[in-house]
Amino acid sequence: MISTNDVRPGMALDLEDGIFQIVEYQHTKPGKGKAFVKMKLKNLLTGVVLERTFRADEPVQQAIIERRAHQYLYSDDLGYHFMDGETYAQLALAAELVGQASGYLKEGDTVLLAMHQGRAIGLELPAAVALTVTHAEPGVKGDRVSGATKPVTLETGLVVQVPLFVDAGDRVKVDTRSGAYITRV
């Protein structure tokens, strides 16, 4: 148990509603009355963000989140399968838990899985990944306006906007946070 005065953004709390990560934290002491703490909390299982108010110095349970490197193996109707790099134990995550990250996963990639009490609760990708372009329409001759882009399909099925000079077979680096093209590799 820790006090609400000692929490900081980024910490995880184990509340009765689930496991939450602190997004924002504000300690307020009004002129009249007792101090209180306003927090914006993100549920690590569902992704729902909510605001909650606590009394100052109220005890809350801190959640211990362990991040372990896992290798992505494959996906099937059971979900996405990962292997722990140390113990070689395999783990299947539901498609809902992987979410948007599935567009950046290719077989053999290493990702960090957030674990709480031996159960996976989240997936952390590297900041950028290199993927191969499988389908790209040719750029139209004369359509060389500065900053012009076209949609391409990557090996994972993800569609990204890239400059006109990128062709099928090229490898491109994509930002996993925004889904934006960074550079050709």
User: pLDDT tens-digit profile of 83-118?
Assistant: 988 888 888 888 878 878 888 888 888 888 888 887
Structure tokens at 39: 């927090």
The proportion of the chain whose per-residue pLDDT surpasses 70, expressed as a percent, equals 95
Enumerate helices (H) and strands (E) in the chain, giving the number of each: 1, 16
Of 84-98, 138-152, 155-169, where does mean pLDDT reach its minimum? 138-152
pTM: 0.70
Spatial distance between the Cα atoms of 90 and 160, rounded to a whole number of angstroms? 31
Return the bridge partners of 116, or none. Answer: 119
CB 68 within 8 Å of CB 112: yes
For residue 179, give the nearest of 156, 153, 161, 165 by alpha carbon: 161
125 vs 42: CA distance, rounded Å = 18
**pLDDT-derived band of residue 142, with 50, 70 and 90 as boundaries?**
low
171, 159 Cβ separation under 8 angstroms: no
Residue-wise pLDDT for 33-60, tens only, equals 888 999 999 887 777 889 999 888 888 9
Domains in the chain with CATH codes = 2-60 (2.30.30.30), 66-124 (2.40.50.140), 128-184 (2.40.50.140)
**Sign of the dihedral defined by the CA atoms of residues 96, 98, 101, 102, in that order:** negative
